[in-house]
């Protein structure tokens, strides 16, 4: 539900920010970027915490909606440990998630959830197989998205339909201007959080518009032929040589996947202690050989080349083919920036487009 | 010719007999190079050594088994190779090592600290090396930094800058930076009480995302696809997002590397959330040095002490307990 943004612009000065954050934290778990050692991570905010806005966060805020591991339910086999077959099994649903607010998500991160949504909202099943665990958290989470002041070398949101000042997926927008931040509501959920703030002046609104335009200007130009990526990657599916070359330096850790705002795969395990335990869902990672290891011992993606092909293919070919052309990549560039061996997904996609043109 | 050109010539020569030479090439941004797998003359043109040659190419050796492979190596990389050879995990005659005198490599986190308040490292548009300095182009203008201020910690305690075991060495050998690793970093850490140390690790590991980049970046972590952390049956580690399992893994990792870790620091560099995991490994390395007089990766003909058994260890006074 998009509001008339002209009437919903608010201002919070640098000095008044902690009080505003305290107000947000009173009604929900408030996540804000925090510097910890060399990293910037989203943590529950508490009074006195400094919000880190000078460095781009190392991780995305996807764990707020899609926790690294979450309890699906707990179980108790009950009865006699010697005769588990005769025991009376009891199941207990996990507790309901509470409301959450993310302060200063990046615009790419907010768009990342748009790649999640159809998958967890029953796409392919006519809306029947809905993932209520995800949807409940998503519904209860409000995203306050900051405008980026500049782009990093690894940023490429504009390649995949985004922008450093995008409001897509955001509930409210946060733009730094002289003396503080301009906040504007994008959805009703966002507007209700901003209600207590004073309205922005015309000058402040103009400054925010200028800052947002400046951000868009500074963003990298997208390549002309990204639209060819799905077909190109499809054409190279059987090109072992291409994928072996592209993956030679990949060390197949999960850094790219776990820092990615659009990677949504999970594993389910029973974590039990004796006859009691939890059924747990936790992040899984397609770069790991275990991801596709079958019970028989066969692994269709034993080689890292096949795993990297799947990761890139999923984001730039298989997903867009069934989701109206939307890439399941938001161009945040964390997979490039934090890759221990500097694998560059942009280069792989561009090389694929070039290579496929020669096939 | 510069050293860079001489190394390129050595690589081109090696490629006459060897299908692949692993070195470094330009990375996705000016502060970072990337491991480069060179197979032909065009690939060699992209080769770059020097201050950005951070990655340890020895990491890739176990997966090259059975195929003769050449590596361009720094002194610390050569130690990893040496340890792999000492443990019979790779065969020395399947390797060809091209060494050069390393004068240290960049630590991007240190650059970040120096640029604090100006810009992020990801906004640097160009890096030039000028003798002992680097000059960075940033949105706010040029920034000159001394290499020694932004070099990796390991470089300040480097005893082996020269890849002594190389088959061919390009350039003049450098003097070691220090004669002895004093483990001053550990001494600082050990000023903390046990409770403080526990609290430290709990805080640091609470950021861990369990990507296992630390493990996969380690050239001596050769269990690879059969790691205790990814075992389904038995299910050693739970999937819970808790510090207990994360610490459990780090302790297994460090223990498994005792007397094997050469201190290349790739585990810590690879960690996307900056957890100082090398500290744990260095604690074990110091212990093994003190107890067995052994440093990993120096002498390929000595069996690593924890891979063998002696009835009486000179430094372990069992009978006097």
For the entire predicted model, the pTM comes to: 0.95
Give A321 to chain B, closest Cα distance, Å: 28
Q: Assign A2 a pLDDT band (cuts: 50, 70, 90).
A: very low
| Backbone torsions φ then ψ of B73, nearest 5 degrees | -130, 140
Q: How far is A276 from chain B (nearest CA, A)?
A: 14
Residue A359, pLDDT > 90, answer: no
Which residues of chain B neighbour A37 with C-beta distances below 8 Å?
204, 207, 273-276
Task: Quote the tokens at residue A265.
Answer: 């795969």
**In degrees rounded to 5, what are phi and psi of residue A161?**
90, 5
Which residues in chain B have Cβ-Cβ distances shorter than 8 Å to A108? Answer: none
* A3: closest CA of chain B, how far (Å): 34
Question: pLDDT of A293-330, one tens digit each?
Answer: 999 999 999 999 999 999 999 999 999 999 999 999 99
**Closest-CA residue of chain B to A257:** B211
What are the extents of the domains in chain A? 7-66+98-217
Residue A6 predicted with pLDDT over 60: no
Residue B85 predicted with pLDDT over 70 = yes
Confidence band, pLDDT 50/70/90 cuts, at residue A1 = very low
Q: Are A41 and A112 in contact (CB under 8 A)?
A: no
pLDDT computed for residue A309 by the predictor? 98
The three-class DSSP label of residue A124 is coil
Domain ranges for chain B, please list them.
1-104+159-180, 108-150, 182-321
Averaged pLDDT score across all residues of chain B: 94
Residues 6+ apart with CB under 8 A from A31: A42, A43, A44, A45, A61, A64, A100, A101, A102, A103
DSSP string, B172-195: PPPPPS-SS---HHHHHHTTS-HH
B232 Cβ neighbours under 8 A, 6+ residues apart: A290, A293
For A61-112, write each residue's pLDDT tens digit. 999 999 999 999 999 988 776 776 666 889 999 999 999 999 999 999 999 9
Contact B239 A282 (CB under 8 A): yes
H/E/C letters for each residue in B66-90? CCCEEEEECHHHHHHHHHHHHCCCC
Q: How many CB pairs under 8 A join A and B?
A: 150
Q: In this complex, which of A251, A337, A344 lies closest to B122 when CB atoms are compared?
A: A337
Strands (E), A274-335: 276-283
Structure-token match 């179980």, residue found: A75
- Taking an 8 Å cut-off on Cβ atoms, the answer to whether B274 and A36 are in contact is yes
Q: Say yes or no to pLDDT of A7 above 60.
A: no
A223 contact B CB<8A: no
Q: Do B238 and A271 touch (CB under 8 A)?
A: yes
User: Which among B120, B207, B211 has the least Cβ separation from residue A253?
Assistant: B211
DSSP H or E run through A172? strand A172-177
Is 80 exceeded by the pLDDT of residue B257? yes
Q: What is the DSSP letter of B151?
A: B
Point out the residue among B55, B241, B273 whose CB comes nearest to the CB of A341: B55
Task: Write out residues 154-183 of A within 8 Å (CB-CB) of B.
Answer: 154-155
Contacts of B192 (CB under 8 A, 6+ apart): B200
Which of B47, B213, B244 is the best substitution to test chain A (most A C-beta atoms within 10 A)? B213
pLDDT at B10 over 80: yes
Best of A164, A244, A253, A303 to disrupt the B interface by mutation (most B CBs within 10 Å)?
A253
Q: Which candidate from A41, A152, A153 shows the least CB-CB separation from B207?
A: A41
> Does the pLDDT of residue A255 top 50, yes or no?
yes
């Amino acid at each position: 539900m998009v509001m008339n943004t002209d009437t919903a612009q608010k201002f919070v000065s640098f000095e008044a920010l902690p009080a505003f954050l305290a107000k947000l934290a009173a009604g929900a778990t408030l996540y804000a970027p925090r510097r910890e050692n060399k990293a910037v991570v989203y943590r529950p905010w508490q009074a006195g915490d400094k919000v880190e806005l000078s460095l781009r966060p190392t991780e995305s805020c996807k764990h707020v909606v899609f926790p690294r591991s979450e309890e699906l339910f707990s179980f108790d086999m009950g009865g006699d440990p010697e005769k588990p077959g005769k025991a009376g099994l009891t199941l207990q649903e996990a507790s309901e998630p509470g409301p959450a607010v993310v302060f200063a998500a990046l615009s790419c991160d907010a768009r990342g959830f748009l790649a999640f949504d159809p998958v967890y909202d029953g796409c392919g099943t006519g809306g029947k197989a809905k993932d209520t665990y995800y949807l409940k958290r998503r519904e209860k989470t409000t995203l306050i998205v900051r405008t980026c002041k500049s782009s990093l070398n690894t940023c490429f949101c504009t390649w995949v339909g985004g922008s450093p000042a995008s409001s897509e997926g955001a509930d409210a927008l946060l733009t730094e201007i002289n003396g503080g931040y301009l906040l504007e509501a994008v959805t009703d959920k966002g507007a209700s959080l901003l209600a207590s703030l004073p309205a922005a002046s015309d000058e402040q609104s103009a400054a925010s518009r200028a800052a947002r335009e400046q951000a868009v200007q500074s963003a990298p130009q997208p390549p002309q032929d990204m639209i060819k990526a799905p077909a190109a990657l499809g054409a190279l599916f059987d090109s072992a040589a291409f994928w072996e070359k592209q993956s030679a330096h990949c060390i197949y850790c999960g850094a790219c996947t776990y820092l990615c705002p659009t990677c949504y795969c999970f594993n389910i395990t029973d974590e039990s202690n004796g006859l009691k335990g939890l059924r747990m869902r936790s992040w899984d990672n397609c770069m790991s050989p275990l991801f596709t290891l079958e019970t028989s011992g066969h692994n269709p993606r034993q080689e890292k080349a096949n795993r990297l092909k799947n990761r890139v293919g999923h984001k730039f070919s298989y997903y867009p083919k069934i989701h109206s052309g939307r890439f399941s990549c938001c161009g945040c560039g964390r997979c490039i920036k934090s890759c221990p061996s500097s694998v560059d997904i942009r280069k792989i996609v561009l090389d694929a487009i070039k290579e496929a043109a020669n096939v | 010719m510069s050293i860079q050109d001489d190394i390129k010539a050595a690589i081109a020569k090696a490629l006459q007999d060897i299908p692949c030479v692993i070195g470094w090439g330009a990375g996705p941004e000016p502060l970072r190079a990337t491991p480069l797998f060179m197979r032909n003359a065009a690939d060699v043109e992209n080769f770059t050594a020097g201050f950005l040659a951070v990655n340890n190419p020895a990491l890739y050796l176990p997966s090259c088994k059975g195929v003769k492979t050449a590596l361009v190596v720094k002194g610390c990389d050569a130690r990893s190779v040496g340890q792999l050879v000492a443990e019979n995990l790779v065969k020395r005659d399947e390797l060809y090592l091209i060494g050069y005198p390393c004068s240290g490599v960049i630590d991007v986190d240190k650059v970040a600290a120096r640029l604090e308040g100006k810009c992020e490292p990801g906004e640097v548009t160009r890096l030039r090396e000028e003798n002992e300095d680097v000059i960075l182009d940033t949105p706010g203008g040029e920034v000159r930094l001394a290499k020694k201020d932004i070099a990796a910690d390991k470089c300040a305690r480097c005893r082996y800058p020269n890849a002594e075991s190389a088959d061919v060495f390009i350039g003049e050998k450098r003097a070691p930076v220090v004669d002895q690793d004093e483990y001053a970093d550990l001494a600082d850490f050990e000023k903390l009480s046990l409770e403080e140390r526990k609290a430290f690790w709990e805080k640091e590991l609470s950021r861990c995302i369990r990507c296992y980049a630390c493990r996969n970046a380690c050239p001596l972590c050769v269990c690879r696809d059969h790691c205790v952390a990814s075992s389904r049956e038995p299910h050693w580690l739970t999937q819970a997002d808790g510090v207990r399992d994360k610490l459990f893994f780090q302790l297994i990792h460090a223990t498994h590397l005792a007397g094997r870790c050469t201190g290349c620091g790739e585990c810590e560099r690879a960690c996307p959330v900056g957890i100082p995991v090398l500290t744990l490994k260095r604690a074990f390395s110091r212990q093994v040095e003190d107890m067995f007089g052994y440093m990993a990766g120096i002498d390929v003909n000595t069996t690593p002490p924890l891979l063998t058994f002696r009835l009486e260890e000179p430094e372990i006074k069992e009978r006097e307990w």
